[in-house]
Structures are given as C-alpha cells and as structure tokens.
Structure 1
C-alpha cells in the first residue's frame, strides 16, 4: 500500500510539471490559411535588384508574424531563372485580415530574363495571446494543480483502508473468532477430562463422583 501511494504521488508531480511546461513555445500557422494575392514585381533600372509587391491574406483567427516567402522568377518560356526565400519580420498580418508586403533581392541574371513570378508562403508564426494571470498566488496555483489531486487520492486510500479494517471486516473478527474457538476447545477438554476420571473410577469399582 505504501508503494502504491508513493507511485501515485510521483505520477501526479510529474504530470503537474509537464502541464506547466507545456504552456510555453511558439505555434505555427497552417499554410492553407495563408494566401498571397495581387503579387507583382519590377526590376530596377540598373538591373541589379528585383522587388516583389503583394498582399498577404490571413484566414486564421490569430495574428501572424515571421512570414517566410518563396519567390520564383521565370523567363518567357516559363523556365525557372531565379529563386530566393526571404523572411519578413516587420510585417504582421491581422487575424482574418490582409497586409501588404514587399520583398527585395539582388538578381544575377539579365533583367529581360525576369518575365513572371510565383510567390508562396513557406512558413509563418502565430501570435498567441499570453495566458491571463490567475487571481491566485503562484503557491495556491501550484497547490491546486499538483497537491490537491494528491491529497484527494490519499484521502480516498485512507477511507478505503478504514473500510478494509472496519468492525465488520474479517480482519477484525479473526481474533474474536479465535478466542471463541479456544474457549470451546477448553470446554471440550474439560468434559473429556471428567469422562476419563469417571471411566477410571468405574474400572476400579469406586463410587462415582457425587455418590455416597
């Protein structure tokens, strides 16, 4: 029973710790909820940079940041000319809204080779609101999460043990039954002793006990 209580206590403490640690971390946004609209591009006059303009539509219920874009440029025959990936950290898309973005990258092919483009979102991070602070103190919150279930389990075990060794249980009745059995055996021994004395007296021809 002691081992069972110790194992239950360890399990509850580990579960409480895991629950507390699980509230930290970032959340990725499903790419199906992000879409690029009205994407255009232009090449600088010196032919060194290409700038992409577009609108990011966010269909999720959270604000989005750290958006990673992938841009591919094609020539007149739709042959891939150049590609690059860029993370835009200064753009935050509102929940269920849109935001404009701009990407600028150095190019190394002739400017006339850049005819069309394709833009897609590779990854993004959701801005999850921080959990609301509890009105309880950290000690009370830790007590409710970790120790209250443990105390409830201990109370249940104590109640079960009391029921197990209660007045009506076989464990408590065993000594009383044993004492009754001993008394019964003593009575039987006394009767046998009297019968033996009577038989011995009869064999000797002596009067029975109680006769004159």
Structure 2
C-alpha cells in the first residue's frame, strides 16, 4: 500500500515541478543532449537533509536554463527509498559546455537508508539567441515602410494627371474637337442670320409697290 502511495506522490511532485518550471512559449531541449556527470551526495550531521552535487553537460547548440532534475535514492539492496524532483532555475548551462549544480532536499526516511543515488534531467528550456539588430536606423525603417510607398503613390498620381491633361491625351483631343465644332456652329449661325436679314429685306422691297 505504501509503494503505490509513494509512486503517486512522486508523479504529483514531478507534475507540479514541471508546471512551475515550464514557461509559455519556451523551447524544450532534447534530453539526449543533456547528461548528468560526477553526481555525488552527502547527508547532514543531523540526518535530516541530503545535498547532491553534480555537473550538467550540455551538448546542444543553445544555452540551457530552467533545468528540472530527478534524484532517486536507494538503500543497500538498491531498493528505491525516496525520489525528489526540483527545478533549478539558477543553473544556466552554456552551449556545448558544462555547469555545476547543487540540490538540497529534506529526507523522509532514516538517513541510514540513503546509500546511493541516481540523477537525471527531466526537462530543460533553451535560451533563444536575441534577435539581430537591424543596420537601419528607426527613421530609415519608418521611411521605407511608410513614406516610400506614399511617395511612390504620389508620383504615380502625378504621372497619371500629366498624361490625362497632356497634349497627347484623349481628353485634350476631345476638348479641341469640341472647340472646333463650336466655332463651325458659330459660323453657320452667323451665315444663317445674314441670309435671314437679306430675305427679310427682299420681302419688304417687294411689298412696297403693291401698296402704291
């Protein structure tokens, strides 16, 4: 009965540690690229705590942080005595390098039961490199993103307006044709006016002898 309860407690502790250690949007590191080396432990004089010292080797190309370790303690018969999981947030492993770590835990069993240990990495987070700074100044970026398209649109409108009112445009040709037609209509109107005056004068001259 005690073993199922102990296993359930270990799973609960691992889940809580993973939730506390994880971050939204973080990039996990493949565990195959992380290894624990030179891990040793010592018990306190009062037999209440155990201190684990070791070295974390990082074979990945990224720096690693938020490393969560799992420490298992065994007795003389290599039977599992206790299990701890802890997120060591102050340990940052360099890319393709090593870093030392230390963990201290309070014991739940008699100190004599803790004879050996096994340490492994449960999870870790990669530190993404900072974004590269742009060689352009903020003014140049604003000019390229905002003002340059506006200037290009303005230039297109000016070109279109010049083509619209230019000598070779269809609008100018239509206006010239309308002006020519208006001039012809004015000439015809004046000619008709003169013919009407002449016809009226003839009618008056023909009507006067008849009255005498």
Q: Are residue 187 (structure 1) and residue 204 (structure 2) matched? A: no
8 Å CA contact retained: 2:36, 2:121: no
Q: SS where residue 47 of structure 2 aligns?
A: coil
Deviations 1:85-144, CA, capped at 9 Å, x for gaps:
14151x44232122332322112223426765452143345384796797xxxxx82212
Equivalent residue for 2:86?
85
Partner of 2:109: 109
Counterpart of 1:162?
158
CA drift of 1:202 comes to: 5.6
Q: Identify if the C-alpha distance between structure 1 residues 129 and 192 changes in structure 2 by more than 3 Å, giving closer, same or farther.
A: closer
CA contact under 8 A between 2:35 and 2:57: conserved in structure 1?
yes
Q: CA deviation at 1:163?
A: 0.8
Max Rg structure:
2
> Which residue in the other structure is 1:11 paired with?
none
| Contact in 1 for aligned 2:81/2:114 (Cα 8 Å) | no
CA-based RMSD: 4.1
Who is 2:140 aligned against? 144
Unaligned 5+ segments in structure 2 are 1-24, 204-212
Separation in 2 of the partners of 1:152 and 1:127? 33
TM-score scaled by structure 2?
A: 0.58
CA distance in 1, matches of 2:150, 2:134: 30
Is the alpha carbon distance of 1:102 and 1:180 closer, same or farther for their aligned partners in structure 2, counting shifts above 3 Å?
same
* Alpha-carbon contact 1:52-1:104 (below 8 Å) kept: yes
Which residue of 169, 189, 198 corresponds with 2:195? 198
SS at match of 1:165: helix
Q: Give the Cα–Cα distance (whole angstroms) in 2 for the partners of residues 162 and 129 of structure 1.
A: 44
Structure 1 runs not aligned, ≥5 long: 1-26, 135-139, 207-212
Aligned pairs (5 A) from 1:1-212: 28=26, 30-32=28-30, 34-38=33-37, 40-42=39-41, 44=43, 46-64=46-64, 66-73=65-72, 81-89=82-90, 91-111=91-111, 112=113, 116-124=117-125, 126=127, 128=129, 141-166=137-162, 168-169=163-164, 173=169, 174=171, 177-178=174-175, 180-195=177-192, 197-198=194-195, 201=198
Q: Distance in 2 between matches of 1:205 and 1:130?
A: 101
